[in-house]
Amino acid sequence: MQTANPAQGNDEVDLLTVWNRLWLHRRWVVASTLLFGALALIYCLAARPVFTATATIMPPQQQNNSMGMLLGQLGGLAGGAGTLAGLKTPNDLYIGILQSRTVADGLIRRFQLKRHYDIRSQDRTRIELRALSQFSSGKDGLITISVDDADPTFAASLANGYVDELKTVNQSLAVTDAAKRRLFFEQQMKQTKDLLADAEAALRKTQEKTGMIQLEGQLPAIVGSVTQLRANIAAKEVQLEAMRSYATAQNPLYIRTEQELAGLREQLAKLETGNSSGGDLMVPTGKVAQSGLEYLRRLRDVKYQETIFELLAKQYELARIDESKDSSLIQVLDPAVVPERKSRPKRAMIMLMALFAGAVIGVAAALLRAQLSEQGRQRRDGRPALALRGES
């Protein structure tokens, strides 16, 4: 009689004994396999087919622009715009935008997803939409948008809707360098436009208060009018002095000449004191210097704001041109089309996995039942229970 090595006996399994026990309880293995296969078949027949529509987009890439040569015109203002850069890899950013609440709410309103998913809550609808949507970024720099739905046409429309919503949000946000500069100069233009409007209103008030409309053309007209009036007054005074030598004070011609001289002096007084009618555009000669200085200050403010606005407008247009290039547009490489084949459930894979799981569980149950039966029989016989290991 040979003595077996205990260590070797503990490490080895008698496959023939295992096979015999499985054969004796083969009904358990077959029943478990058929049961799991039947359950998998019922699930495959009852489950709704799900279709996956996929769209592929190419996000904008960071590129150099033509702004650097012209930013020097604004000095420190341009420096502020130059510090706006900082975006390195846009793929993760655009995936974050696709997963944002803004995009989800836009799709929920556009496609009436509450009614489509039969959900009343806005939050639960977002969760359901997020669970049925997948976004991935490949090494090639492309972003893939996949949407699952029981309706293939609706799945394709929803995938393309993601692209449309991304474009809409991208236009309202400063994502690329050119978009940041465009937004910066747009804000500066709005502020400068308001300042220009205030300067123009102040100039108009100054013109209404002083009567100064245009310094270059109005001042010579004022001086010429005063000079002409004084010359006419001097001529009338000479004429009146000459008439005194041969005419009396009751002479009609003498009286008319006196009246004409009084009228000329009254007009000159109005020009010198400013007591003119409301529609008179002549500025009092005594206030020409003060009115002209105030007018020049207001006009200078208007010219300054106009110059700043023109420079900002040029920079803004250049930023818009850079933004409109290919580097600032989301390009659709493959729009989503209606899928012809369902993506799940994969019936063949489910059936194979179910049959395999049923077989494994059946084998385990058969071996356990055999072990329990063997232990019970050994107890009845008063002998130690035999393991599944063979004896030498």
Residue 199 CA to residue 303 CA, distance in Å, equals 9
Helix (H) or strand (E) holding 368: helix 347-381
The radius of gyration computed from the CA coordinates of the chain, to the nearest angstrom, equals: 48
* Region of residue 99 (left: phi > 0; alpha: psi -120 to 50; beta: else): alpha
Residue 33 CA to residue 358 CA, distance in Å, equals 4
Nearest to 55 by CA among 250, 307, 268, 331: 331
| Cα dihedral 212, 217, 221, 224 in deg (nearest 10) | 130
Confidence at residue 161, expressed as pLDDT on a 0 to 100 scale: 95
Backbone angles phi, psi at 58, to 5 degrees: -115, 110
Confidence at residue 392, expressed as pLDDT on a 0 to 100 scale: 39
Residue 288 CA to residue 294 CA, distance in Å, equals 10
> By three-state DSSP, how is residue 280 classified?
coil
Confidence at residue 306, expressed as pLDDT on a 0 to 100 scale: 84
Confidence at residue 372, expressed as pLDDT on a 0 to 100 scale: 82
Strand partners, 57: 143, 332
For residue 191, give the amino acid letter. Answer: Q
Nearest to 174 by CA among 41, 322, 361, 67: 322
Residue 107 CA to residue 96 CA, distance in Å, equals 16
For the chain, the maximum distance between any two Cα atoms, rounded to a whole number of angstroms, is: 181
Confidence at residue 8, expressed as pLDDT on a 0 to 100 scale: 46
Confidence at residue 6, expressed as pLDDT on a 0 to 100 scale: 46
Q: Are 151 and 113 in contact (CB under 8 A)?
A: no
Please name the residue that has the structure tokens 């008063």: 382
Distances, alpha carbon 273 to alpha carbons 224, 292, 317, in Å: 17, 16, 51
* pLDDT, one tens digit for every residue, the chain (392 residues): 344 444 444 445 578 878 887 787 788 888 888 888 888 888 777 778 889 999 999 887 655 444 444 444 444 444 444 444 444 467 888 899 999 999 999 999 999 999 999 999 999 999 999 999 999 998 888 999 999 999 999 999 999 999 999 988 877 776 666 677 778 888 888 888 888 888 888 877 876 666 555 545 445 555 556 667 677 777 777 777 777 766 677 778 778 888 887 887 777 676 656 555 444 444 444 444 455 556 666 767 777 778 888 888 888 888 777 766 644 578 898 999 999 888 777 778 888 898 899 889 988 888 888 788 777 777 777 655 444 444 43
Instruction: Provide the strand spans (E) within the chain.
Output: 51-58, 133-137, 143-149, 331-334
Count Cβ atoms below 10 Å from residue 333 Cβ, excluding itself: 12
Residue 375, exposed/middle/buried by CB under 10 A (0-12, 13-18, 19+)? middle
Strand partners, 136: 144
Query: What is 225-256 written as a DSSP string?
Result: HHHHHHHHHHHHHHHHHHHTTT--TT-HHHHH
Q: Does the bond joining 345 to the residue before it have cis omega, within 30 degrees of 0? A: yes
What top-level class would CATH report for the domain 51-79+86-176+327-334? Answer: alpha beta
Please name the residue that has the structure tokens 């090494």: 139
Domain ranges of the chain: 6-43+345-381, 51-79+86-176+327-334, 190-309
- Put the strands of the sheet holding 133-137 in their side by side order: 133-137, 143-149, 51-58, 331-334
Q: Tell me the HSE value of 79 on the side-chain side, using a 13 A CA sphere.
A: 2
| Cα dihedral 33, 36, 39, 43 in deg (nearest 10) | -120
> By three-state DSSP, how is residue 373 classified?
helix
For residue 300, give the amino acid letter. Answer: R
Q: Are 350 and 84 in contact (CB under 8 A)?
A: no
Contacting residues for 36 by C-beta, under 8 A, at least 6 apart = 354, 355, 357, 358, 361
